[in-house]
Amino acid sequence: MSTTRFQALQTIENRLESLPLDLGESHGETIASYFGENVFHEEAMKKYLPENAYLMVKAATQSGQKLSREVADTVAAGMKEWAQDKGCTHFAHWFQPLTGKTAEKHDSFFTMTHDGRVIEEFTGSALVQQEPDGSSFPSGGLRSTFEARGYTVWDPSSPAFIIEVGDGKTLCIPTIFVTYGGEAQDYKLPLLRSQALLDKAAVPVCQLFDANVTKVTATLGWEQEYFVVDEALFNARPDLVMTGRTLLGRPASKHQQLEDHYFGSIPERVYHFMRDLETESHKLGIPVRTRHNEVAPAQYEVAPIFEEINVAVDHNQLLMDVMERVARRHKLRVLFHEKPFAGVNGSGKHNNWSMGTNTGVNLLSPGKEPSKNLRFLTFFVNTIMAVYKYADVLRASIAHAGNDHRLGANEAPPAIISVFIGEAMFKLLGQIANGKKTDDAAVKRAIDLISKLPNLELDNTDRNRTSPFAFTGNKFEIRAVGSSQNCAGPMAVMNAMMGLQLMEFKRDVDKLTAKGTDKEEAILMVLKNYIRKSKPILFEGNNYSDEWKEEAASRGLNNFATTPEALDVLAQPLGIDLFGKSGVMNATELDAFYNVQLHAYCTKLDIEAKSLEELVVSQVLPAVLRYQTELANNISALRSIDMVQSARLQVDLLKRIVADVEAINAGLKAMQTAYDNAHNAGDIRAEADIFCHQVRPQMEAIRAAVDDLEAVVDDQYWPLVKYRELLFVR
């Protein structure tokens, strides 16, 4: 009997009887009474900082002003007092290196003076800058090992918070991570730069309509999908432990075909996990609001109320950390991988993106006031134009090994980027584009048409779930982002391309008004031109269909199905142009970023290939061979008593097993060769290509044979926890 698998199943059996379900701290009060209690927010700042320091920090947050050394010292002292009142002993710079995860290095407040006195201290310089050992983080060649220094630098625009692990409490300072020379080595600095660019570009455009607008921020509401499995079962699957996904496993006969999981009632253990998670998140000021089952069995979603983009990104990264920690408390594991199980849906992270002004306006919301509708149309059409121009860069920003299993797999948006806007807006753009004139009357007509639109929010939400980029009434929803991914990557691209586009728009309008064209007419003329140009990116049909692939090709839209292909644009003029002109990444940073992404891809596939080989050789094959011997013995026993005629079933089974074992053997050998080729490729792009087109197909061939064996080998021998157990035992 396979001991690991059955022990794991036994563990759950015992656990279900003994595990107290309600493990979370029950606050009992309303959420509002403890929301943000672990965040150094406005109120805490007012209480712990002198007024002038508080005002300086606010100014730094809003306009990016630098803080003087004295002010930093004062803020650090106030922060330390607040944190110590809450029981913190340590502080950490918290940052988002290109690994995609978060990183933190803890230091205690406790220190010793040179004359040996013990004191507790947190200075302004410790708040502002730290030097973690940078050499362990991917830099894509930005740093050579002999000058490994990397610096984390305080980002005052995202509030400090306290992480609680058991009794341990640590004050965490959100930071950016840069080289000695100030080059970005993380996801945050490019995002902050993109936000600054968007603000700079969008304000003058807003001022065409309203002089009171002085600030524009991008807003983000993410929807995080994930799977939950029992800890014992997770630990009994080395592939889940090593790679976050199952490399083997025959889809269970029941998966999601009954469509009974989506929005179904939440299993009790998971429900308790979610409540505990929500309490923790709310204390950290993460405004999570929605929870529900997703399409696949054991799949769920959590979503917050949207926030300013940089805070929203921090909150998503923080939430993923908290989820892993809280899940362990409940003897569960969360899987963020884009495709942990074959045969059922994978997970994504919809990014709902819009822009808001200091005057409280959502720039992608068609207002009730007709006079505001030309502004809506301006931001709406410019977004489409931006995607039209830079679709390939957006595609690159969501490219990674995990997402390759999902994009284009008839369950997630395809790898072809297109924009869905809904019937009403589609018609309206058509009418504008086909209108002969752009005079005063034409402007009135366009504005009038928008006011007569049905409620787009009700009308467009959920209309087309197959589109990678959909207008949902008052925001765009970018659906192809991977569930494990840092949102900052695609969001920096969104902001950057929108910023550049808005600058071009302003120039185009200015050119016309300089020649004496009326402002509103000029705006309409420019928009009309954009609508005509960007038409190929609009698609209202079924993005999963094969016809769309053909049509997209005829429209000149690219379909980069794999990560190495999708990343190429980062080394081509379009990518270099977008990042360079927007200032989001200079050529050196972009080159480093591109290299890090390629390396990450190769490393992931390398780990997967090695894990698969070990799993197959050391676990699957021994079980298979035992059963094969039993069958052979049985057949020869029957033969010895002249009953071999009655062993037809056994013979068929044996033949099937032998064929599968041969296929595995051939696959392993071919994989080894491919793998050696990859390592000898000499160039990272060539290596990625070999992993993608030579190693991966062998992994799939091996898997097909193993998954077939799973259906025939004695269940008692099968060493790996089966899909039906992973997905349905809770």
Q: Quick one: tokens of 524? A: 């309409």
Q: Residue 223 or 589: which CB sits closer to ligand ADP? A: 223
CA distance 270 to 277: 10
Cβ contacts of residue 562 below 8 Å, gap of 6+? Answer: 404, 692
The stretch among 122-130, 347-355, 410-418, 573-581 that binds ligand ADP (CB under 6 A) is: 347-355
CA separation for the pair 404, 602 (Å, rounded): 13
Cβ atoms 383, 498 nearer than 8 A: yes
Q: How many angstroms separate the CA atoms of 482 and 346, rounded?
A: 9
Given the rule CB under 6 A, which of 115-123, 227-235, 303-311, 717-725 is the region that contacts ligand ADP? 303-311
Report which DSSP code applies to 482.
B
Return the residue nearest Mg ion (CB atom).
350
Residue of the chain from 38, 96, 299, 354 that contacts ligand ADP (CB under 6 A):
354
Confirm or reject binding of residue 219 to ligand ADP (CB under 6 A): yes
Check binding of 45 to ligand ADP (CB under 6 A): no
Q: How far apart are CA 472 and CA 479, in angstroms?
A: 12
Torsion of CA 475, 481, 486, 488, to 10 degrees: -40
* Rounded least distance, CB 84 to ligand ADP, Å: 35
Contact with ligand ADP (CB under 6 A) among 11, 123, 362, 588: 362
104 vs 199, which CB is nearer to ligand ADP? 199
- Token look-up 């490019």 returns 190
By CB under 5 A, name the binding residues for Mg ion.
350
Identity (one letter) of the amino acid at 554? S
Of 143, 272, 331, 475, the residue at the interface with ligand ADP (CB under 6 A) is: 475
Minimum separation from the CB atom of position 255 to ligand ADP (A): 24
Partners of 129 in the β-ladder: 153
Answer for the pair 39, 159: CB distance below 8 angstroms, yes or no: yes
Q: Smallest gap, in angstroms, from Cβ of residue 477 to ligand ADP?
A: 6
The mark string for 430-469 relative to ligand ADP (x by CB under 6 A, - otherwise) is: -------------------------------x--------
> Distance between CA 68 and CA 65 in Å, rounded?
10
Residue among 192, 132, 119, 92 nearest 499 (CA):
192
Nearer to ligand ADP, 365 or 501 (CB): 365
- Label each residue of 225-236 as H, E or C: EEEEEEHHHHHC
Stretch of 304-312, 493-501, 649-657, 680-688 contacting ligand ADP, by CB under 6 A? 304-312
DSSP codes joined into one string, 25-69: ----S-HHHHTTTTB--HHHHHHHS-HHHHHHHHHHHHH-PPPPH
Q: Is 293 in the site for ligand ADP (CB under 6 A)?
A: no
Residue 474 sits in the site that holds ligand ADP (CB under 6 A) = yes
Pairing state of beta strands 129-130 and 288-293? unpaired
Smaller CB distance to Mg ion: residue 337 or 350?
Answer: 350
Binding to ligand ADP by residue 217, rule CB under 6 A? Answer: no
Residue 354's binding partner out of Mg ion, ligand ADP, none, with CB under 5 to 8 Å set by partner kind: ligand ADP
| Contacting range for ligand ADP; rule: CB under 6 A; set: 30-38, 302-310, 385-393, 594-602 | 302-310
In the numeric block, which tokens belong to residue 714? 């004695």
> Residue from 154, 306, 336, 579 that binds ligand ADP (CB under 6 A)?
306
User: Binding of ligand ADP at residue 305 (CB under 6 A)?
Assistant: yes
305 binds, among Mg ion, ligand ADP, none (CB under 5 to 8 A by kind): ligand ADP
* Residue 285 C-beta: closest distance to ligand ADP, Å: 15
Nearest distance in Å: CB 458, ligand ADP: 10
Q: Are 23 and 276 in contact (CB under 8 A)?
A: yes
Give the integer Cα–Cα distance in Å for 291 and 288. 8
Assess contact for 402 and 245: CB atoms under 8 A: yes
Q: How far is the CB of 425 from ligand ADP (least distance, A)?
A: 16
DSSP state of 134: G
Q: Which is nearer to Mg ion, 351 or 534 (CB)?
A: 351
> How many residues contact ligand ADP, by CB under 6 A?
15
Sites of contact with ligand ADP (CB under 6 A): 219-221, 223, 303-306, 352-354, 362, 461, 474-475
